[in-house]
Amino acid sequence: MPIEATFPPALILLAGALLLPLLPRNCRSLFSLFIPLLALGLVWLAPTGTHLTLALMDYHLVVYQVDQLSRIFGMIFALITFIGCLFAFHVKEAAKQTAALLYAAGALGVTFAGDFITLFVFWELMSLPSTYLIWARGTRESEKSGMRYLMFHIFGGGLLFAGILAHTGETGGILIEPLTARTSLSSWLILAGVALNAAVVPLHVWLSDAYPKATVTGAVFLSALTTKTAVYVLLRVFPGWEILIFLGVVMTLYGVVFAFLANDIREVLAYHIISQVGYMVAGAGIGTELAINGASAHAFSHILYKALLFMGAGAVLQTTGKSKLTELGGLAQKQPLVLWLYMIGAFSISGFPLFNGFISKSMVIAAAGAAHYNLSMLFMLLASVGTFLSVGLKLPYATWYGQNRGLSPIPLPRNMVLAMAVTAFLCILYGIMPGLLYNRLPYQVHFAPYTFPHLMETSQILIFTFAAFWIFRKEIVGKAGITLDVDWFYRRPAKWVQRIFLEDLETAFNKVETLMIDTAHKLALLSNNPRALFTGSAGKKNYSPDAYRSSLQLLILLALFGFVLISFWGLLSQIGVVTK
């Protein structure tokens, strides 16, 4: 069957994932590059409209539906899968490559789903391969953390599915459309399920827990796909839900404060995913055309620069084996290229002019201002200060400058450098030519990022953040240790639950068992010689029937002796007969 422009890209990725393990080892990496590229081409060419429907019992499933909003998300998902596969080109394990493609298939499936059932199927398709990308690191920490990640997503999937069932029960329809029923339980269940994947505080902790423990290459896919598919669903289903503005602003600030405390470089970046996704969640909550455009543009930019940052941090981990700020330092001379490619990502996330964060973050903030959410606007500006502080200053300062710890990094595979260079190029390209992105946004854009006041504002924020950092740079050295988060509520009690329900319970059972055996033993002793109870003859512990029988020994002895005598007599007389 020839592939037409209306063929669903998710199915291409799915087919690619299933085919990949059957290919010879040497071809797999090339194949894993080709598949997302093909998917990207299909998304690029797909005309707006519904292209694939299926009938399931009485329901009409819309498997592939394209509009401006889904197209921009589909494009960036396919693009980042390609970049991630390039970064992982040297990885030859089929399981990892298959997991990455399956994960991307899930993300694209969700993006182009036109009904809730299709959405849910692809939503669930994402969770297991993404867990595998955490487990594949192979450490005990990643194994446990991956399990917590999976449990979280199974719970989130349950919430979403319950919501979808309730929604279908209420309305009779399964088609995805903006939900407006603010009092209906089904809407809130769906919102909770989606918010969990968007890492909305306080349902965020799976992210900061698991992403730092994923494989070096897997973290690139993780940073891009799960949270941003959830953002897409929020934009599609919950535009204008004011609670999302509040939650989004909380996320932006929560992320930067916790990122500042983190000691693992990928944990710093993970908390900044929460912070950056906060802008998008707030954008969904504002719900105006400018806000939806801003959130979509910011998702697009964020996926690029965050992947670049994770690649940079992953490169440090890969080449030195270290990922703690307190164990890194003095790498600038040894890894200048990694440093500068990382810094392009850092400039982008911090919103430097000429980098892609500048053209998208400002759009969300402007949308908040235009809708007169002034306090939210101020807090989002404050959060951008924290972003520059942690990702743009503290992390690179401690990793590449700071105390020289005599680390000697091994050379980085070329494909990893190339993937970082491609992403860095795109970050700058979209920063310099915002029109390339703006033309593809869901609504027509009436926003110009490069205005004189905006450039002055941004310069002031960045320069004076740097000034404060420089003056207090001695204050901010990292400390070894971990930061408690909401996970405390289930990880700490887990110990007590284990103690109460397993260890203490087992001890109690053991005690009762010992007691019972002891009692039985004593009772048995009692019944050993019941006669002694009545006769009072002490000393005889065990009952012996012989003690109470008349003696038969003598009688038997006499009988036997008589028998022997008679036999002997008989024998002698026989001998006498024979001799005569």
Partner 1 sequence: MNKLLWALLGIVAVISLLGGLASPHDPAHDVWWNSIPDFFALLGFMGCLLIIFLAKWLGNLFLRKREGYYNAD
Q: Give the C-alpha distances (Å, rounded to integers) separating 416 from 17, 87, 141, 147, 423.
A: 22, 4, 25, 28, 11
The neighbour count for residue 507, using CB atoms within 10 Å, is 11
| Cβ at position 396, least distance to partner 1 in Å | 13
Considering only residues 263 through 282, tell me which ones interact with partner 1, judged by CB under 8 A: none
Q: Give the C-alpha distances (Å, rounded to integers) separating 151 from 123, 136, 198, 399.
A: 15, 17, 16, 33
Is residue 492 part of the contact set for partner 1 (CB under 8 A)? yes
Options 26-34, 347-355, 382-390, 440-448: segment touching partner 1 (CB under 8 A): 382-390
Between 425 and 464, name the residue whose CB sits nearer to partner 1: 464
| Cβ at position 197, least distance to partner 1 in Å | 24
Between 25 and 372, name the residue whose CB sits nearer to partner 1: 372
Is residue 257 part of the contact set for partner 1 (CB under 8 A)? yes
Considering only residues 427 through 456, tell me which ones interact with partner 1, judged by CB under 8 A: 452-453, 455-456
Cα angle 570, 574, 577; round to 5 = 140
| Cβ at position 495, least distance to partner 1 in Å | 5
Question: What does the alpha-carbon distance between residue 68 and residue 70 come to, in Å, rounded to a whole number?
Answer: 6
Exposure class string for 408-438: b at 16+ Cβ within 10 A, else e: ebeebbebbbebbebbbebbeebbeebeebb
Question: What does the alpha-carbon distance between residue 73 and residue 107 come to, in Å, rounded to a whole number?
Answer: 9
Q: What is the H or E stretch that residue 149 is in?
A: helix 140-171
Candidates 48, 180, 374, 444: give the one binding partner 1 (CB under 8 A).
374
Of 47, 71, 64, 46, nearest in space to 113 by CA: 64
Between 475 and 546, name the residue whose CB sits nearer to partner 1: 475
Options 65-73, 234-242, 282-290, 489-497: segment touching partner 1 (CB under 8 A): 489-497
Candidates 382, 418, 422, 428: give the one binding partner 1 (CB under 8 A).
382
Question: What does the alpha-carbon distance between residue 236 and residue 365 come to, in Å, rounded to a whole number?
Answer: 20
Between 425 and 488, name the residue whose CB sits nearer to partner 1: 488
| Cβ at position 507, least distance to partner 1 in Å | 17
Partner residues linked to 311 by β-bridges: none
Do residues 391 and 349 lie in contact, with contact meaning Cβ atoms separated by under 8 Å?
A: yes
Question: What does the alpha-carbon distance between residue 213 and residue 431 come to, in Å, rounded to a whole number?
Answer: 31
Between 63 and 366, name the residue whose CB sits nearer to partner 1: 366
Is residue 333 part of the contact set for partner 1 (CB under 8 A)? no
Is residue 386 part of the contact set for partner 1 (CB under 8 A)? yes
Question: What does the alpha-carbon distance between residue 97 and residue 100 come to, in Å, rounded to a whole number?
Answer: 5
Q: Which long-range contacts (CB under 8 A, 24 or more apart) does 161-166 make?
A: 161/120, 161/193, 162/189, 162/193, 163/187, 163/188, 163/189, 163/190, 163/191, 163/192, 163/193, 164/116, 164/117, 164/120, 164/190
| Cβ at position 532, least distance to partner 1 in Å | 54
Candidates 5, 448, 494, 520: give the one binding partner 1 (CB under 8 A).
494
> Cα 359 from chain centroid?
29
Do residues 162 and 254 lie in contact, with contact meaning Cβ atoms separated by under 8 Å?
A: no
Q: Which residues contact 33 (CB under 8 A, 6 or more apart)?
A: 82, 85, 86, 89
Between 84 and 212, name the residue whose CB sits nearer to partner 1: 212
Beta strand extents in 14-133 (DSSP E only) = 49-56, 59-66
| Cβ at position 263, least distance to partner 1 in Å | 9
Between 333 and 374, name the residue whose CB sits nearer to partner 1: 374
Between 456 and 552, name the residue whose CB sits nearer to partner 1: 456
Between 410 and 463, name the residue whose CB sits nearer to partner 1: 463
The neighbour count for residue 55, using CB atoms within 10 Å, is 8
| Cβ at position 250, least distance to partner 1 in Å | 14
| Cβ at position 154, least distance to partner 1 in Å | 19
Q: What is the H or E stretch that residue 437 is in?
A: helix 435-438
| Cβ at position 377, least distance to partner 1 in Å | 8
Between 479 and 580, name the residue whose CB sits nearer to partner 1: 479
Candidates 334, 440, 491, 531: give the one binding partner 1 (CB under 8 A).
491
Question: What does the alpha-carbon distance between residue 49 and residue 6 come to, in Å, rounded to a whole number?
Answer: 9
The neighbour count for residue 217, using CB atoms within 10 Å, is 26
| Cβ at position 204, least distance to partner 1 in Å | 15
Question: What does the alpha-carbon distance between residue 136 and residue 214 come to, in Å, rounded to a whole number?
Answer: 7
Do residues 322 and 332 lie in contact, with contact meaning Cβ atoms separated by under 8 Å?
A: no
Of 366, 414, 357, 421, nearest in space to 391 by CA: 357
Candidates 370, 417, 422, 432: give the one binding partner 1 (CB under 8 A).
370
Between 17 and 349, name the residue whose CB sits nearer to partner 1: 349
Is residue 385 part of the contact set for partner 1 (CB under 8 A)? yes
Between 63 and 349, name the residue whose CB sits nearer to partner 1: 349
| Cβ at position 48, least distance to partner 1 in Å | 33
Do residues 119 and 24 lie in contact, with contact meaning Cβ atoms separated by under 8 Å?
A: no
Between 452 and 534, name the residue whose CB sits nearer to partner 1: 452
Candidates 99, 101, 119, 256: give the one binding partner 1 (CB under 8 A).
256
Binding residues with partner 1: total (CB under 8 A): 47
Considering only residues 454 through 483, tell me which ones interact with partner 1, judged by CB under 8 A: 455-469, 472, 475-476, 479-483
Is residue 381 part of the contact set for partner 1 (CB under 8 A)? yes
Question: What does the alpha-carbon distance between residue 69 and residue 6 come to, in Å, rounded to a whole number?
Answer: 17
Of 290, 300, 237, nearest in space to 444 by CA: 290
Between 494 and 572, name the residue whose CB sits nearer to partner 1: 494
| Cβ at position 264, least distance to partner 1 in Å | 11
| Cβ at position 293, least distance to partner 1 in Å | 18
- The footprint of partner 1 (CB under 8 A) covers 256-258, 260-261, 369-370, 372, 374, 377-378, 381-382, 385-386, 389, 452-453, 455-469, 472, 475-476, 479-484, 491-492, 494-495, 498
